[in-house]
Amino acid sequence: MLLAFALMGNGAAWAQTASSATEPTTEQQAWLDEVSISADPKMVGSLASQPQSYSVIGATEMEQQGIRSLKSATQFVPNLYMPDYGSRLTSSLYIRGVGSRINTPAVGMYVDDVAYKERSAFDLDFSDVERIEVLRGPQSTLYGRNAMGGLLKVYTFDPLTTRRFGRQTQLRIGASTEDAGRYVNFRTANMAGDDAAFSFSGFYDGNDGYNRNTWLNRRSNGSEAGGAKFRYVYNPLRHRGFTADFQTSIEYSNENAYDYYKVADIDESSYTPGGIGEIRSGKLGNYRRTLLNNSLKLQTIQRHFVLTSVSAWQYLTDRMFMDQDFSPADLFTLEQRQHSHSLSEELVVKSHGNDRLEWLGGVYVAQQWLKTDAPVHFGADGIQQMIQNGIDRGFDAANAAMGAMGMNIDMHIDDKSMLVDGLFDTPTFNAAAFGQATLKNLLPKLNVTAGIRVDYEHTKLTYDTGATSNFTFAMMRNGIPMINSPFSSTSRYDGVIRHDYTQVLPRVTLSYDLPNKNLVYATVSKGFRSGGYNIQKFGDMIPTSLKNEMMATLAADPVIGPSMSRYGMAAGENPSADSTTVFKPETSWNYEVGTHLQLFNGHATVTASAFYILTKDQQIARFASSGLGRQMVNAGKSQSFGGEISLSTWMSLWRNPLTLRLSYGYTHATFTDYDLGDVDYTDNYVPFAPQHTFSAAVGYMVNMKHSRLDIGVDATGLGRTYWTEDNRVSEPLYVLFGAHAGIHFDHVSVRLWGKNLTDKAYVPFYYESMSQGFAQTSRPRQAGIDVTVRF
């Protein structure tokens, strides 16, 4: 593959420009040829020219707003939501109300044109990021499964910029209040001769946390993270039509997590009275993750086309530990260890130099291997309350009937603790072919774009999970033991489930060119999100099946069995793995109109869109009624409508630039068919779909003789957000305020910042389990300082 690209690149000596992983700045544009090749292999032309609802966060905005991760970036993008809760494992992204708390994501993410498979890999450090592009609405035609809500494209700094600006080296040190935060980032980029450049970056990010577990009397959400990245780009001056881009990075994080506090006892008979408003877990939650990414991007620019190959290998290993009852009681804990690695190859060819017909096509193949070890540990309190009490209730009727004869029976679990082990192997194979074409000026100023993708996915679940219980059965008559015998029973699920999914994903767009490179558009597109398996559901099934197996053991005993039969005590039917763990794919149709406008001679940019989404077999995350893990269910149908608008403008004030950025998004998402038999949630709001998202940021820069000063204020708002399908609990709209001020010299910058200046308390996450409501605490008021040295 490399040789073929090199040969094609040698034949392209006529090319005047190379593809770059960054959008050119004003200075860079003067150096580049007039013909600009988009950074995205699947895009012909610039992002602003696409009939698509989008937002961009650049490096300057990221620095001013203190954006170092997706969770902080999403506050400034309309109809984009990433709740700040749990850990890096729970990186849940939502666009226009479409998203996922668990299992497969509904919003895709690419980093330098490499797809990230695991949702738990989304929460990355942004120390080396140059810009973020957010595409709203289904992107399934070009990007495939799990991009039905939209797509985030993250681009890191391109070392080839050193060809224009020379060596670039930067060291940044930061600190913050409330959580004793500390941050160090280093980045350098250098030329390696005339034809290549390389960069190296590293970071450390740590804090002590801002929450306190009152039961353990210690801070409960501190974290440590660090990582490094190396990038090498080969782009020969004599043959700029060829580019080879190699990247490798590693990131490690270790965080205390899942420090939820109890909001209310939904059922007054709750097992842990008291503790309202306090974090009282008997054990601290924890999440550790190691993430390794390697990719090679090859691109050649020919006279009439651009050919790009992106090859990637990703590896993720992590470990989650959670005190699932979030109380001082020794009920049960969940643990999950994942080992995931994937190989992918994408080959894309797109048109170049054709003003009338723009086209692209490609193929994509990926194989992911994922092994999960998910044990559940029951403590003495958990055995008593979740298993023993159920057994006792099952014997009540029999003892009532036998009492007249002076007899009673009892079954007592002898174990002081119990392990439900669980090994799960879930490999996934995905292959797709796609194409898209745009015919310009079909009628004067009218353009037509049509695309289609055929996506195939094969999934498999191999499971081996179960538990063993030791117990004693006793039968008494008039207080005298007749039987007092020990027994042992085992419940085990061991099997394989397979599924194949094939989807045809079309997209059709009409756009009309307005003067000054403005446009209006209308789009119809289909979205697709994979089905899958609820492996945590096994932890909920085992206690039930274990009680059944214990009853079956007694029924098989030649002495005890006849008595059980006489008094109507029989083993129940074990839950089926196929029917309870499998959830179906989710599909949607998205209808959208929008516009991109450049106004006042380029001093103002406006983007606006309105959408209507119909979703079928919507996937909804729930906690099992027992509290033993989460599960995905299909909730029938839903609809969502709304829109977003963004304004960016700048003007001269006292001969210095004043910038203003405004954005607003509205989403109205409701179930149109969600009847569970005993309850009907039809017409209720879809959980985790904020109705309003908005932001406003004002910045002013003062140029002085040997320095420049920049100051700014911002406000972000979100809500109302419903947390449960019955809509009983919701978070109203709230607004957070921030500010920054920085002074910049040639080699040194100092920046002061503040977030949540009014110390607003809000709920970023809420859920219900075991008749109780739990919530995540919000981040308090914070202040910090960043010092950057360039040399």
Between 406 and 141, the more confident residue is: 141
Determine the Cα–Cα distance for residues 545 and 543; give it in Å rounded to an integer.
Answer: 6
DSSP string for 543-584: HHHHHHHHHHHHHTSTTHHHHHHHTT----PPPPHHHHHEE-
DSSP H or E segment with residue 6 = helix 2-10
Q: In the predicted model, what is the mean pLDDT of residues 3-14?
A: 40
Determine the Cα–Cα distance for residues 736 and 757; give it in Å rounded to an integer.
Answer: 7
pLDDT at 2 over 70: no
pLDDT at 18: 32
Lowest mean pLDDT among 40-49, 87-96, 339-348, 397-406: 397-406
**The one-letter amino acid at 1:** M
Under 8 Å between Cβ of 258 and 87: yes
pLDDT at 583: 87
pLDDT at 24: 34
DSSP string for 461-490: EEEEEEEEEEEEEEEEETTEEEEEEEEEEE
pLDDT digits (tens, 9 = 90+) for 718-757: 989 999 889 999 999 999 999 999 999 999 999 999 999 9
CA triple 705-708-712, angle to 5 deg: 150
Q: In the predicted model, what is the mean pLDDT of residues 372-394?
A: 86
* Strands 107-111 and 150-156, bridge-based pairing: parallel
CA triple 707-713-714, angle to 5 deg: 135
pLDDT at 273 over 60: no
> Percentage of the chain with pLDDT > 90?
56
Determine the Cα–Cα distance for residues 504 and 591; give it in Å rounded to an integer.
Answer: 17
Determine the Cα–Cα distance for residues 57 and 569; give it in Å rounded to an integer.
Answer: 65
Question: Token pair of 200, please?
Answer: 């190296």
pLDDT digits (tens, 9 = 90+) for 359-371: 999 999 999 999 9
- Band of the pLDDT at 626, cuts 50, 70, 90? low
Tokens 């957010």 locate to 134
Question: Token pair of 663, please?
Answer: 């954005």
Determine the Cα–Cα distance for residues 77 and 716; give it in Å rounded to an integer.
Answer: 10
- Band of the pLDDT at 624, cuts 50, 70, 90? low
Determine the Cα–Cα distance for residues 726 and 729; give it in Å rounded to an integer.
Answer: 8
Determine the Cα–Cα distance for residues 352 and 200; give it in Å rounded to an integer.
Answer: 32
Beta bridge partners of 501: 457
Determine the Cα–Cα distance for residues 209 and 205; give it in Å rounded to an integer.
Answer: 12
Determine the Cα–Cα distance for residues 476 and 168; give it in Å rounded to an integer.
Answer: 84
pLDDT at 770: 74
Determine the Cα–Cα distance for residues 169 and 228; give it in Å rounded to an integer.
Answer: 15
Residues 6+ apart with CB under 8 A from 99: 81, 92, 93, 105, 106, 107, 149, 688, 689
Between 37 and 53, the more confident residue is: 53
pLDDT at 758: 96
> Percentage of the chain with pLDDT > 70?
92
pLDDT digits (tens, 9 = 90+) for 118-177: 888 888 888 889 999 999 999 999 998 889 899 999 999 999 888 777 788 999 999 999
Question: Token pair of 550, please?
Answer: 């214990």
Say whether 73 sits in a helix, a strand or coil. helix
Length of the chain: 791
43-49 contacts at long range (C-beta below 8 A, 24 or more positions apart):
44/350, 44/351, 44/358, 44/359, 44/360, 44/438, 45/358, 47/23, 47/133, 48/517, 48/596, 49/517, 49/519
Residues 6+ apart with CB under 8 A from 707: 743, 744, 745
Residue 693 CA to its chain's centroid (Å): 18
**Other CB atoms within 10 Å distance of the CB of residue 248:** 15
pLDDT at 373: 95
Determine the Cα–Cα distance for residues 752 and 120; give it in Å rounded to an integer.
Answer: 31
* Distance spanning both ends of the chain, measured CA to CA: 39
pLDDT digits (tens, 9 = 90+) for 208-223: 999 999 999 999 999 9
Between 543 and 7, the more confident residue is: 543
pLDDT at 13: 34
CA triple 368-373-379, angle to 5 deg: 155
**The one-letter amino acid at 153:** K
Helices (H), 567-649: 577-581
- Band of the pLDDT at 71, cuts 50, 70, 90? confident
Smallest CA-to-CA distance from 770 within 384, 275, 385, 395 is with 385
- Band of the pLDDT at 33, cuts 50, 70, 90? very low
Beta bridge partners of 133: 56, 153
Determine the Cα–Cα distance for residues 471 and 383; give it in Å rounded to an integer.
Answer: 12
Determine the Cα–Cα distance for residues 331 and 386; give it in Å rounded to an integer.
Answer: 8
Q: In the predicted model, what is the mean pLDDT of residues 699-708?
A: 92
pLDDT at 481: 82
Residues 6+ apart with CB under 8 A from 734: 717, 718, 719, 760, 762
Residues 6+ apart with CB under 8 A from 231: 156, 159, 198, 199, 200, 245, 246, 247
Determine the Cα–Cα distance for residues 757 and 509; give it in Å rounded to an integer.
Answer: 44
Alpha-carbon Rg for the chain in angstroms: 29
Determine the Cα–Cα distance for residues 577 and 492; give it in Å rounded to an integer.
Answer: 11
Burial class of 230 by CB neighbour count within 10 A (0 to 12, 13 to 18, 19+): middle
Distances (CA, A) of 573 to 398, 413, 547, 570: 19, 21, 10, 10
**The one-letter amino acid at 268:** E
Determine the Cα–Cα distance for residues 96 and 690; give it in Å rounded to an integer.
Answer: 8
- Band of the pLDDT at 692, cuts 50, 70, 90? very high
3-state secondary structure 302-361: CCCEEEEEEEEEEEEEEEEEECCCCCCCCCEEEEEEEEEEEEEEEEEEEECCCCCEEEEE
Determine the Cα–Cα distance for residues 82 and 764; give it in Å rounded to an integer.
Answer: 9
pLDDT at 771: 78
Determine the Cα–Cα distance for residues 99 and 430; give it in Å rounded to an integer.
Answer: 21
pLDDT at 152: 93
Q: What is the mean pLDDT of the chain?
A: 87
pLDDT at 17 over 70: no
- Band of the pLDDT at 56, cuts 50, 70, 90? very high
